[in-house]
Amino acid sequence: MEIVAVPVLTDNYVWLIHNAEIGETAVVDPSVADPVLEATAARGWRLTQILNTHWHPDHTGGNQGIQTATGAPIIAPAEAERVSKVDHIVREGDRVTVAGREAVVWEIPAHTNGHIAYYFEGEGMIFVGDTMFAMGCGRLFEGTAEQMYRNLRRIAALPEDVHIYCGHEYTLANARFAAHAEPDNDATADRLAAVSALRDEGKITLPTTVAQELATNPFVRAPNVEEFARLRRDKDSFRS
Ligand code: ZN
Ligand code: FE
C-alpha cells in the first residue's frame, strides 16, 4: 500500500491510499476535487472510493466533483449529508473495503458529533481526520471534553507502531504549545526541534505514530479529563 498526502487549501492534507496490486486508489477527506484528480492522473491511478471522516467542508468539499469525474462511491458518516450525497453511510464497527483492504469504522464524536475514524488493522494505520493531530487534538466544536479525551485514549491504546494520518499540518503550532505545557519533557523538546527543521524545509510532519503521541502529545498524556479540559482551554487562547 502506498499512502500519498495531497496538500490543499492552507494546511489540509487529503490522503490517497493506493493498492498497486489491484489498481485501486481511495481518497480520504477531499477538501477540493481538482488537486486530487491532478495528483491521481499524474500517477496514472484510478480513484475507486471517496471517504470522509466528518462533515466539515474542508473534508467533503471535493466529494461531488471527484464522483462526477470518476464515479467512485462516497463512504461517510451520516452527518456528511449536510454537504454531499453519501452512497454508504457508516457507523461504529462497520467494516469497509478500501483499495482492497479492510478498515473498521470508529465513532469518535467531539470535533463534530458524527466524526469517525477508519482503522486498517492489517496495515497498522488509522485515519483520524480532525480528532487527533500530531502533538495536538481537534477543537471541540460539537461535543464534550469527556468525549474527546476518550477518543484520544482509544487511539493511543492501539499498538505503538500504528501510523496516524491527520487532516491538517498543525504540528509546529502544536509542538510549541506542547513545550509550553510540558517544559520538562525532553521528547517534546526534541520533537519541537525536529518539526521546526522539517517545516523550515517545507516538508510534511505526518503521519505520526502512537508511540510518538504517547511520548509528546500533552492531550494524550493528560492523566484525567479535568486536566485534558484545562489544556484544551489553554490551547484555544495560546499564542506561540
Ligand atoms: Zn474539521
Ligand atoms: Fe479540518
Residue type, 139: R
pLDDT band for position 129 (cuts 50, 70, 90): very high
- Dig out the grid coordinates for 86 from the structure: 453519501
pLDDT band for position 87 (cuts 50, 70, 90): very high
54 is catalytic: yes
pLDDT in tens, 2-14: 999 999 999 999 9
Residue % of the chain over a pLDDT of 70: 100
How remote is the CA of residue 148 from the centroid of ligand 1, in Å?
Answer: 14
Domain layout of the chain by residue ranges: 2-237
The rounded distance, in Å, linking the Cα atoms of 185 and 166 is 23
Residue count of the chain, please give it: 240
94 is catalytic: no
pLDDT (0 to 100) of residue 15: 99
Say whether pLDDT at 222 is over 80.
yes
Tally Cβ neighbours within 10 Å of residue 220.
21
How remote is the CA of residue 164 from the centroid of ligand 2, in Å?
Answer: 15
Summarize the confidence of residues 235-239 as an average pLDDT. Answer: 91
pLDDT (0 to 100) of residue 239: 83
Ligand closest to CA 131: 1
pLDDT in tens, 167-200: 999 999 999 999 999 999 999 999 999 999 999 9
59 is catalytic: yes
Summarize the confidence of residues 204-221 as an average pLDDT. Answer: 98
pLDDT in tens, 15-53: 999 999 999 999 999 999 999 999 999 999 999 999 999
The rounded distance, in Å, linking the Cα atoms of 89 and 147 is 22
Summarize the confidence of residues 135-164 as an average pLDDT. Answer: 98
Tally Cβ neighbours within 10 Å of residue 122.
10
The rounded distance, in Å, linking the Cα atoms of 96 and 231 is 35
Coil, strand or helix at 174? helix
Summarize the confidence of residues 72-101 as an average pLDDT. Answer: 98
DSSP string covering 69-114:
HH-PPEEE-GGGGGTS--SEE--TT-EEEETTEEEEEEE--SSSTT
Say whether pLDDT at 207 is over 80.
yes
- Whether 110 contacts 117, CB under 8 Å: no
The rounded distance, in Å, linking the Cα atoms of 199 and 187 is 18
Coil, strand or helix at 233? helix
pLDDT (0 to 100) of residue 62: 98
Q: Find the catalytic residue in 130, 186, 190, 200.
A: 130
Say whether pLDDT at 240 is over 80.
no
- Tell the CATH topology of 2-237: Metallo-beta-lactamase; Chain A (3.60.15)
Coil, strand or helix at 54? coil
Summarize the confidence of residues 146-152 as an average pLDDT. Answer: 98
Rg, C-alpha atoms of the chain = 17
pLDDT (0 to 100) of residue 59: 98
Confidence (pTM): 0.98
Say whether pLDDT at 132 is over 80.
yes
130 is catalytic: yes
The rounded distance, in Å, linking the Cα atoms of 210 and 162 is 6
- Whether 132 contacts 164, CB under 8 Å: yes
- Dig out the grid coordinates for 25 from the structure: 486508489
Question: Which residue's C-alpha cell is 496495515?
Answer: 123
pLDDT (0 to 100) of residue 157: 98
- Dig out the grid coordinates for 237 from the structure: 487562547
pLDDT (0 to 100) of residue 172: 98
